[in-house]
Chains A and B, each alone.
Chain A
Amino acid sequence: MTLFELEFMQRALIAGLLTGLSAPAIGTYLVQRRLSLMGDGIGHIAITGVALGLLTGTAPVLTAVIVAIAGATAIELVRARGKASGDVALALLFYGGIAGGVLLIGLAGQGAATLNTYLFGSLTTVSASDLYVVVGLAVAVLVIAIGLGPQLFAVCQDEEFARVTGLRVQLLNLLIAVMAAVTVTVAMRTVGLLLVSALMVVPVATAQQITRSFRSTFVTACAIGVTACLAGIITSYNANVAPGATIVVLALAGFVVAATVGTLLRRRSGRIAPLDDEEPEVGVPAPAPHVVSPTHPHAHNPDCGHKKVEHGDHVDYVHDGHLHAAHGDHWDEH
């Protein structure tokens, strides 16, 4: 019997395939918004969700997805407020998530072994009902990540511009947070809650070494994610270690290879096509330049009829759309 004929391995591989696709898909948007560690925070909070499921006898996948979505929403609301204390609020949420989870699992009478299967993934524990939930959630994430690609790209790339095109930016930001939470739950059984963020970020960082466009980064990252997940699961079965660790180690090895190849490629293309010289930049706002109004035949005075405007220690006269101020024997543009 090969490992592909084992029923639990089939389930693990299906879950791994979907995890390998959806984690880098949402990860590309998170990295573009420079929120690489958001997945990590949500993973911590989801631990409490798992523990609640174990304590109450509900499926941990369901309680985890609910708690993760609530936590992600809280993180997004704190972030959108942009308050200085937001950083601390996030830290409290993360640590509260871990501590609460460990506490509740203890209360549920479960040991560290059970917790470990959620923290670092497990091949044998993906049940058939788990798999249905994972497939449903992962497909939903992928449909949105691809279908709303242009809108999500715009929001992550330049939020203010996106607002002026009429996009509901706050709603889309919240959607990204919720998708990240759902992906954390999808990935929980494969890479585990502590390493899920690595699968969101490392394939994207790897892809960036060789890609130039957002779309190709997205596609390449997903391909890397799938490869790392499937190869990691098979290695994990053969070596009898937690799949999360093998998946992430493989992904990191891929990054090292890509970074080396990317550096070599850039060096070569840099030698072939040197940077074209640009004209010197002009118009950089200089600190209050002294500009003389040439051939200014009129002498302004308080009664000359031109509008007067106070300017620091002197008066400017409004003159044909310009502001003129006396300076020695001539008039300055102000």
Chain B
Amino acid sequence: MTAPLDADHDTAAKAVQVTDLSVDLGGRPVLRGVDLQIRPGEVVAVLGTNGSGKSTLIKTVVGLLPAARGEVRLFGTPVPRFRQWKRVGYVPQRITAAGGVPATVYEVVSSGLLSRRRLFAPLGAAGKAAIEDALRVVDMADRRKDAVAELSGGQQQRVLIARALVSDPELLILDEPTAGVDLASQQIFADAIRERVARGTTVVMVSHDLGPMDALIDRSVILRRGRIVYDGPPHASQTHAHVHHTHADSDDSGWLTS
């Protein structure tokens, strides 16, 4: 990775800096005392069981949820004052991207460019080229005129990823981008992320199942009940293989055992 390892105390050198973060939802503490620093160029996986607070952490980082205590800085600026949203690409944890009126793949992807567009200004040639490029990367170029609601779950997820990639962000934040996605889409998606990582993009990704993405990860963070219980390399040594697939064929007492 090209991450600068110096300037450890310079907050501007961090893409994401989470300090002593606590977040309450519905009057209940969901995140407690979370500290996390992500350097530019790092590829970080956020792991943890359902309900451990992964989405809450991601949403707080992008400013969708307020911090009860502590703060989040993006590129050195506290999130409430952060204005350079064109540096950030966000993929929410959601498969359906459909409103009450049909919208095409092209239209949904083009809304990813809004952080770069001025009000009342038409989409320029550069913007159109960026949309074509993002569509090509997720292999949806020939579906651009199709209504998003008519696509499969994996294809819809690819549209959401293209929408995040189209503004060419320095920091990509993805919440379970591969959950419920077919294998072909997962491979296309991993290739798209690999291309961005090679260009130095910082990636923060929540996932149950990294699949083809596993090899890209520099570091994993494990959340449990709103706290970080592990933060370090995913492969410190090769003493044993990693199992990321579910054991449907396991000869053990059953998959509900824990």
Contact = CB atoms under 8 A, between A and B. Distances in A.
Interface string B90-131: 101000010111111011101110110101100100000000
Nearest to A213: B104
A160 B64 contact: yes
A153, A280, A283, A325 — which one has the most chain B CB atoms within 10 A of its CB?
Answer: A283
Nearest to B64: A160
A297 B101 CA distance: 57
Contacts of B220: 321
A277 to B, nearest CB: 10
B114 A214 contact: no
Interface string A260-290: 0000000000000000001111111111111
B256 A36 contact: no
B145 A292 contact: no
Contacts of B83: 166
Contacts of A208: 101-102
A42 to B, nearest CB: 18
A214 B146 CA distance: 11
B222 interface: yes
Contact of A283 (B186, B222, B243, B255): B186
Contacts of B186: 282-283
Interface residues of A, number: 66
Nearest to B45: A321
Given A290-B256, A312-B258, A320-B236, A213 B147 contact: yes
B74 to A, nearest CB: 11
A69 B50 CA distance: 44
Given A160-B92, A282-B183, A321-B232, A290 B100 contact: no
Contacts of A151: 114, 119
A321 B231 CA distance: 7
Given A212-B145, A293-B240, A36 B100 contact: yes
B83, B86, B88, B99 — which one has the most chain A CB atoms within 10 A of its CB?
Answer: B99
A229 B180 CA distance: 47
A150 B110 contact: yes
Contacts of A148: 119-120
Contacts of A286: 246, 255
A212 B101 contact: no
Interface in A295-319: 295-298, 307, 309, 311-312, 318
Interface of B: 49-50, 59, 62-64, 83, 85-86, 88, 90, 92, 97, 99-104, 106-108, 110-112, 114-115, 117, 119-120, 123, 145-147, 152-154, 163, 167, 178-184, 186, 208-209, 211, 220, 222, 224, 229-230, 232-237, 239-243, 245-247, 250, 252-258
Given A283-B179, A291-B243, A295-B240, 4 more contacts: A153-B111, A211-B102, A213-B102, A278-B154
Shortest 8 CB-CB contacts between residues of A and residues of B? A166-B85, A154-B111, A289-B246, A32-B101, A165-B115, A32-B99, A279-B182, A321-B234
